[in-house]
Every structure is written in C-alpha cells, then in structure tokens.
Structure 1
C-alpha cells in the first residue's frame, strides 16, 4: 500500500513513516522541506500520485485566531487534490474533547478541520488523541515565573507520542472508519499534579503553585479533555516514559 504522510518529518509523522515502512508499506513523507506546501497546494499532485491513503499530520504554526484559516485552506487543498488523484482514504489527527472547549480557538480550529474532512469527497478516518507527554515541559515553561510554575488543576490524560503514532498507523492501514477513534493515556492526572511529578523526576527546583487562571489549559472546563467511554487506552505510563 502506498501512503502519503503529510507532515511526515515531524514528531508523529516521522514515527508513522517508520512504522508503516517496517510493516512493508510504501510510506512517503512530505513536508515543506520536501517541497510540499499545503497552504498553496504546491507539490500536492505529485505527492498524492498513486497514493492509496493520505495521512495529514500538519499543524497550524500558531494556536491563535489564525489557526482556523490555516486548517480550512489546507484541508480544502488536500481534499481537492486527493479526489483528483483517486486517493481512497484520508486520515487526520485531532484532539480528544476539542468540541467541548469553546474558549480555545485552536481547539475549535481542529473541530473545523474534522468537519471539513467529514463533509469532503474522500472516505475518511479521524484519530483523536489526548495531550502528548513530550509537550509537558513546554506547558510548564508557559507559566514559569522565576522558581514558580503556575498550573491549573485541569484533569488531563496524556500519552506518549510513540503510542499516538501507533494508533495513527493502525487506522491508516485499515479500511476508512468514516468515524472517529479516540486514544488516550492509561492514567488521569490534574495538570498541577503532573507538573510536580515532572519537576521532581528531573530534580528541578521549581515549585508548582495551583492557579485556576494560569495558562492555556485554564480554559478547559471540567473533564472535557479526558477520554470518554470507548476510547483506546495506550500502554505507556508517564512514569515509564520518564524513566526512558
């Protein structure tokens, strides 16, 4: 099977390409560095020529008000080119609970991306994942002031990027779901608790202060981004991932 992986040189995309190749598929990574510009459509016909499946793992360069336009333009370009190329399956990666967080424009932009795919001309699958372990350090940096990190007690259920890549790979090689598959980590933490665990494991002297108004995740209501019934739980725990 020939699979075009758009965003195939990034954190998830590069691992998806490796997994698909190891399974005997022809996985071809595409990105700006390989000459594909999803915003302009440059390089799309060549990237999708002969492809059975396209996996879109590109992301908006910002989390602000520009993100909806990014996803609308890139999805419109991708789906038009995929239809012309006769691609039989389009897969995207989204966020668990995105539709339940109306105050985060980036999450609503991801919902827009999903809706465009669902209404498009190509059979589709959506993989929705929870937050990645790999981004915890960045989340801490957003609200660090000297030796203090301010974090809300928002419930989250993070997972390893490798487990996300595995989930995307499994969906990509299967028949189109024409539905959404949620995947999540095996444990639920509050974000402030996860921050303390992370700093302790690294011997970081910073202190976490619980602050309901701090950072992007303060806008998440209740348990909106926790996996619901029917989600696939990934095997890797946070402590196991940290130990690696």
Structure 2
C-alpha cells in the first residue's frame, strides 16, 4: 500500500464509504506479509516514499514471480527488480502475462510500470568513464527514472581523453545531481567534483585489469578524492547511486 492509497483509505473511512472492519482487513497486511521465503514490506512506501525493490540475484524464478504477484495484488503501482538474468526473465515473463514488464538486458533491471510518476523539473546526469561501465550506469539511470526523475546520459568520457568530458561542460553543470561511474583507477568523480556545484555520487565498477582488484582500486580512489561534495557507494552499486540521486533530486517535491 502506497502513501496516496493509505490516505484514500483513511478518507473513505472518515466519509463512511468504507467500513472500519474493511479498513482493518486491508491494514492487517501492514507492515509486511510473510510468504515463507520472503517477507514483503508493503509499508516501505509509506515510510520512505519508495516501494520495496526486489534484488533478484539468488532468488528462483518462482520466488520472484511470487513476490511480484503479491506486490501487484496489494496495490504497488511501480516495481523495480535488480540483477535479474536474461534466463530468469524468460521464465518469469510467461507467468505474468498481461503485466507491463520492461526488461533491460544490459543492466539486468526489471521494471513494472503501471502508473506515471510526477517528475521535478530538475534532472540527474549519469556519466561513465568508459563504455564497459555502462551496465552499472544503466542500473543507476533506470532506477532513477523508475522513481520519477529525468535522466541524461553521457557515456565514455573518462580522463584518458579528458577533452571528451570537457566538451559536455554546459550539460554537466546544468544537472541537479551527477552520478559518476568509473572503473580502472576511478578518477572521473574527482574531475567532475571540481567542475560542478551539485552533489556527485561516485560509483566504482569492477572494470579493470588485475591491480584493479575487482573495483577496489577505484573505490579507494573515490573515497580519497580531494574534491568536495562527493559521496561514494559500493562497487558496481548502480542501484544505490540511482536511489540516492532520486532522493536528492526529488527533495523539493517531498517537503
């Protein structure tokens, strides 16, 4: 149950169009529903403004379908699932025929979008150092879009050819939040942090050769950045970056 639906329910009780018993039956499903293999947090949207997100890695297709059906039946309008393999999606899709599923194989993100979300005028920019960083960047971008944000993408503008990045200076500076995605040595966020007067969310990726240590070198570079205004999420955590950027970008609408 999302915030607007809860408000509508309470107003219906107040107006007398819904009985107290019926309202109690609906509220009984809060704050979570136990499916045995998962406890679905239907109260999360009321607490945080965003419904629960399904982390699909490690879950069977049957479990994912069960969680999706439960959320849909309980009125969740838009649902996000991350780290869903192509193979799992092909098993899930026939079980949810008629449901508006959108799947992006690059980012491995599943979106169920049943309702448009009002968007702020400001936008989020997602930039990558290289083309190989795009799967993580797209996870961030699609997450932010699903939660109701305009997102602009600038890819393959790493510091190895910094003139590429500088050619987009006006577009970069017009963003309300910047997500910088980079592997290798992870220098891109520091450069962007020195260019913009808005928050920069740094995302280290596991892209790189052996001494990259699966993204650890990029993570340490970003944590040790001398540029101010940079926050850092975990390695390959595009979802976390997109979620945080959405919270920042939508703050004026949530006051």
Normalising by structure 1, what TM-score? 0.40
The higher relative CO (CA closer than 8 Å, separation ≥ 6) is in: 1
* Structure with the largest fraction of helix: 2
**Which is higher, the Rg of structure 1 or of structure 2?**
2
Normalising by structure 2, what TM-score? 0.39
